[in-house]
Chains A and B, each alone.
Chain A
Amino acid sequence: MNVLELRGVRAAHDGITVLHGVDLTAAAGRVTALLGPNGAGKTTTLRVAAGVHPASGGRVLLGGRDATGADPRALARAGVRLIPEGRGVFPNLTVRDNLLMMTRTGRTREEIEEAAFARFPVLARCAARHAGTLSGGEQQMLALARGLATDPAVLLLDELSMGLAPLVVARLYEQVAEIARQGVAVLVVEQFAAAVLGVADRAAVLVRGRVAWRGRPDDGLRAELSALYLGSPR
C-alpha cells in the first residue's frame, strides 16, 4: 500500500521553481531510493513531503488522505520522520535529551530510550555525552534512533551516507532494511547510488526537478545513472 504519495508536486526556492511536477510513491514495507545529481531537488522533495517546505503545486497524500500544506508538527505526530541532510541531531544536547525531544510524538521517554538503545547499543554507552562530540557514524545512528524509536509510518532519509565510511553506511542501511521489513515506508535519498541499491526495492532518478527514470534497481538503472553522472546524452 502506498503510504506516501506525491502527485505532480512543484516547489520553488526564492521564486525559482526547482521541482516541476514530481510523482513519487513510498509503499509500506519497502525501501524506495530517490537518486540524482547534486541540485536535482531531492532534498526539496523530502522537505515538501515532511511539510517543512511549501508545495507550490500538486498534492501530498499520506495514507490516501490529502496532507498538502499540513503543519509539519502535525505530520511529525502522525508518524512522518524526516532525518535531514547533515546530522539530524541537536549537537548541544546530550544523547538522552536528543531522545527526550521525540516524546512529543506520543511515546514515553523510557520507551524511546529502550527502543533506541536496543537497536544501537553504542548509544547507551554515551547516553550522557553531548551529541556534537559523537563520531559521524554515531551521530547518524542517533538520528536514525530518534526516527525509529517512535513508530514511524514513513521514514524519509536524506543522504544518510554523507561523510561516512562505507562499512558504517552498510551497517546503517541494514538497520534501514530491517525497519522497512517491519512495515514502515522508507524513502531514501542518495546522490551516490552504490550505498543504497543493495537494500532498495524500488528506485527513481530525479534530474533537474523531474523524475527521469523509475523502476526496479537493475541494469537499466545502472546505465541510466552512469549516463547521468558521466555526462552522456541525456
Chain B
Amino acid sequence: MDGFAAFGIVGLTTAAVYAVIGSGLVLTYVTTGVFNFAHGAAGMMAAFAYWQLSAGWGWPVPVALAVVLLVLAPAFGLLAERALFGPAQRLGQAERLVMTVALLSGLIALARWVWDPNVPRPLPTFFAGRAPLRLGPATVTWHQGLTMVVAVAVAAGLWVLLHRTRTGAEMRATVDDRTLVVLAGGDPVRASRAAWILGTQLAALGGILIAPTVTLDAAQLSLLIVSAYTAAVFGRLRSLPLTFLGAAVVGCTESYLTGYLPQNAYLPGLRLAAPALLLFLALLAFPHRRLRGSDERAGRAPVPAWRGTALLAAAIVAAGTVLAAVLGEGDLVTYGPVFSLGLVALSYVPLAGYAGQISLCQLSMAGVGAVVWAHLGADGAWWALGAAVAVAALAGALVALPALRLSGVYLALGTAAFAVVLDRWIFTLPSFEVLGVRIALFDQGSVELAGPRLFGHRLDGGAELMVLAAVCLALATVAVAALRRSRYGRRLVALRDSEAAYATLGGGLLVAKVAVFALSAGIAGLGGALYGMQLRSVTADQFSLVAGLPVFLVAVIGGLGAIGCGLFTGTAYIGPVNLLVALAPGSQNLVALLPGLAGLGLARNPDGLIPAMRAGVRRLAQGLTARRGESEVPVEWWGVRRPWRPEDGEVLARGIAGS
C-alpha cells in the first residue's frame, strides 16, 4: 500500500508538470490557433538556460529563476510571435505546423550545439535540504509539493484570465476572427503576443520543474511535448480542467507502470512509450470536428510531364554514376545517403503532396525496411528487398487505419506518436516469436546490412550501392510521376482538396487512404533498406522521430507536390551539410541547424523551392524566346476560344469540389 501511495505521489508530480506545459499548449492554441510542436522545446531551452545560470555560473536560484521566467521566456515568446507566427498568420494550418516542427528541430540542434550532450548536467531539486513531509502513508518532498502547488496555481490563474477578464476573452476571440476583434475596437496583435509570452512562460516553468528529476537531454526534454499533448488532447485542446485530468492520467500511468510492470525484457520500453500510446488512443477516442478540413490553402501538386520526368530520372542515374566514379570509399559512405534518403523524402510526395496527409513517421517506416532487409537479406536475395518494401507497406497501412479518423495537424500528431512508440518500445525489443515466426528487430543494438546479389556478384562496394540507390530513386520517381498522371493520382488530389467532395464523387475514402499510406511507406522502406546497406550497420536511433524531422523539413522546403522532391532533399540534406563540414571542420553544429532555419523561412515560399525554381527557369526561357504570355481565357470558353487541354478536366473538377 505504501508503494501504491508513493508511486501515486510521483505520478501526480509528473502530472503537475505535464499539466503546466499542456495548459500552455492549450493557451497558445485557443488564442492563436497555432498547433505548437516546439512548445516542449521551449521548455527544454528554459531548463538548459536555468542550468546555465544557476549551476553553470552559480547565480542564486531566485535570480536565475526570475531571469529565465520573467526575461528570457517572454523574450523568446515575443520573438517567436513577431518573427515567425505573426507573419505566418495568412498561411494554412499545415504550413504553420511545419514551422513549429522546424522550430522544434532547430532548437534541439541549437541546444546540442551550445550544451555538449556528452557532459552530464545535474540540477538540484528545489528545497533539496528540507526533510520531506509525511502525509499519511506517503512522503512528499518539498520539490514534489512545490510542483503540485504551482500546477494548481497555474490552473486557477489561467481559468480566471481566460474566462473572467476582457484580455482573456480577447485572446480567445482573436483566433475566431481577427477582423471582428478590430471592429470591436480590440487589438488582436497584442492579444496573440500576450498568449505567446504566457504560453512560453508556462513551458519554461514546466521545463524547469521537471529538469531536476530527469537527465538534461535536448531531445528527451523536447519530447515532453508528447505527454503535454496527450493531456491537451484529453481537453480537446480547449478545456483546461480536462487537460489537467489528462495530465493526471498520463503521469499516473507512467508512474504505476514503473512500479508494477512485470520485470522482463519486453516491457520497459512500454513505460517510456506510454505517453505516446495514450496520445494515440486519446486522438482516436475524441472527435475533432473543429479542425477537419479547416485547411484553407493546399499546396500545388503539378502534373509532371513525361519528358521532364524522363530527364529527371536520367539525371538521377547519371549523378549516381558520376558520384560513384569520382568519390573515394570514405566519401561514398558520407554521400551515399543522397539517393536512399532521397527515396524517404520522395515517399512524402504521394502521401503529403498529393493526398494531403502529413505524416511524421516516414523515417520510422524506413527503419522497418532496413530491419527487414538486415534479417532476411543477409545472403543478398532480391526477394528480401521486396519483403522489406512489403513489410514497410504493411506498417504504413497499419498507421493508416487509425489515421482515417484524423486529418491535418491531428494526423501529424498521431503519426509523431506512432514514431515515438516505435523508437522507444518496438525498436528496442529483443527478438520474439509470433505464431512460430521469429521476429528480430534491432537486437537491442545495431544490425548489419549487406548488399544484394546481382548475377552471382555481391553489390557490396560503396560505388555499386550508390548506383543501385540512384537507379531505385530514378525508378521510384518515374513511378510517382506515373501515379500523379493516373486516375488514382487525380483522385488523391481531389481527396486532398476536399474529403467531403471526394466522398460525394463515390470515392472509397478508406481504400484510397490506406493505399496511399502503404505505397509511401513502401517507398520509404525501400529507401531505408538501401540507406542501411550503404551505412553497413544501423541502430534504431538513426530512424527516430527526431532524426526524421530534418528530412521532412527539407522535403517540405523542396516542395512536397513535386516529383523532384526526392533528389532535392537527398542533395540538399546530405550535400551542403557534408561539404560545409569538410570545408570548415567544427561547423557540424551550425549545419545541424540549417534544416530548422530553412523550415522557418517557409512563410516566404509556402509551395517549396522546386516550383519556384521551375517558375524561374520558365520565366527565363520565355524571356529568351520572347513568347507573349497567354491571356487569361475564362473557364466557360475553354475548348472554344482556346484548345482544350488534358489538365483542364482536373482543374474544373477541383474547382467544383472546392466551391
A residues with a Cβ closer than 8 A to B are 50, 52, 72-73, 76-77, 81-82, 84, 88-93, 97, 100-105, 146
Contacts and interface: CB of A to CB of B under 8 A. Distances in A.
Interface string B173-194: 1011101111111110000000
Contacts of B292: none
Contact of A72 (B169, B170, B172, B182): B182
Given A88-B180, A97-B169, A77 B185 contact: yes
Given A73-B185, A76-B184, A105-B184, A93 B169 contact: yes
Contact of A101 (B30, B169, B175, B238): B169
Interface residues of B, number: 20
A84 to B, nearest CB: 7
A100 B181 CA distance: 11
A73 B182 contact: yes
Given A52-B179, A84-B179, A92-B176, A146 B184 contact: yes
B78 to A, nearest CB: 21
29 contacts: A52-B182, A72-B182, A72-B183, A73-B182, A73-B187, A76-B182, A76-B183, A76-B184, A81-B183, A84-B179, A90-B176, A90-B180, A91-B176, A92-B30, A92-B176, A93-B172, A97-B173, A100-B166, A100-B169, A101-B166, A101-B181, A102-B184, A102-B185, A103-B166, A104-B184, A104-B185, A104-B186, A105-B185, A146-B184
A76 B184 CA distance: 6
A182 to B, nearest CB: 21
Nearest to B181: A101
Interface of A: prevailing SS? helix
Contacts of A76: 182-185
Contacts of A77: 185
Nearest to B170: A101
Interface string B497-522: 00000000000000000000000000
Nearest to A131: B176
A85 B163 CA distance: 27
A92 B183 contact: no
B185 A84 contact: no
Interface string B107-149: 0000000000000000000000000000000000000000000
A131 to B, nearest CB: 9
Interface in B597-622: none
A73 B186 contact: yes
Q: Which of B177, B181, B185 has the most CB of A within 10 A?
A: B185
Interface in B157-211: 163, 166, 169-170, 172-173, 175-177, 179-187
Given A90-B172, A92-B172, A93-B169, A50 B183 contact: yes
Contacts of A50: 183
Nearest to B186: A104
A93 B173 contact: yes
Contacts of A146: 184
Nearest to B175: A92
A67 B166 CA distance: 28
9 pairs of A and B residues whose beta carbons are closest in the complex: A104-B185, A76-B185, A90-B176, A97-B169, A90-B173, A77-B185, A72-B182, A101-B184, A100-B169
A100 to B, nearest CB: 5
A84 B170 CA distance: 18
A97 B168 CA distance: 10
Q: Which of A50, A72, A101 has the most CB of B within 10 A?
A: A101
A93 B176 contact: yes
Contacts of B166: 100-101, 103-104
A146 B172 CA distance: 17
Contacts of A100: 166, 169
Interface string B15-43: 00000000000000010000000000000
B294 to A, nearest CB: 13
Contacts of A84: 179-180, 183
Nearest to A53: B179
A52 B562 CA distance: 37
Contacts of B181: 101
B169 A82 contact: no
Q: Which of B170, B187, B238 has the most CB of A within 10 A?
A: B170
A91 B172 CA distance: 10
Contacts of B183: 50, 52, 72, 76, 81-82, 84, 88
B173 A101 contact: yes
Contacts of A92: 30, 172, 175-176, 238
A134 B118 CA distance: 58
A84 B181 CA distance: 12
B619 to A, nearest CB: 19
A101 B167 CA distance: 9
A88 B179 CA distance: 10
B184 A97 contact: no
Contacts of A73: 182, 185-187
Given A92-B172, A102-B184, 10 more contacts: A52-B179, A72-B182, A76-B182, A76-B183, A90-B177, A97-B169, A101-B170, A104-B184, A104-B185, A104-B186
A156 to B, nearest CB: 9
Contacts of A105: 184-185
B190 to A, nearest CB: 11
Contacts of A93: 169, 172-173, 176
Interface string B220-250: 0000000000000000001000000000000
B73 to A, nearest CB: 27
A49 to B, nearest CB: 11
Contacts of A97: 163, 169, 172-173
A79 to B, nearest CB: 10
Nearest to B165: A100
Contacts of A72: 182-183
A84 B182 CA distance: 12
Contacts of B30: 92
Nearest to B188: A73
A50 B179 CA distance: 11
Nearest to A91: B176
A100 B175 CA distance: 16
Q: Which of B163, B169, B187 has the most CB of A within 10 A?
A: B169
A88 B400 CA distance: 39
Contacts of A101: 166, 169-170, 173, 181, 184, 186
A73 B170 CA distance: 14
A102 B177 CA distance: 14
A73 B180 CA distance: 10
Interface in B302-348: none
Nearest to A77: B185
Nearest to B182: A72
Q: Which of B170, B176, B180 has the most CB of A within 10 A?
A: B180
A91 B30 CA distance: 12
Contacts of A89: 180
A232 to B, nearest CB: 22
A146 B173 CA distance: 14
A146 B181 CA distance: 12
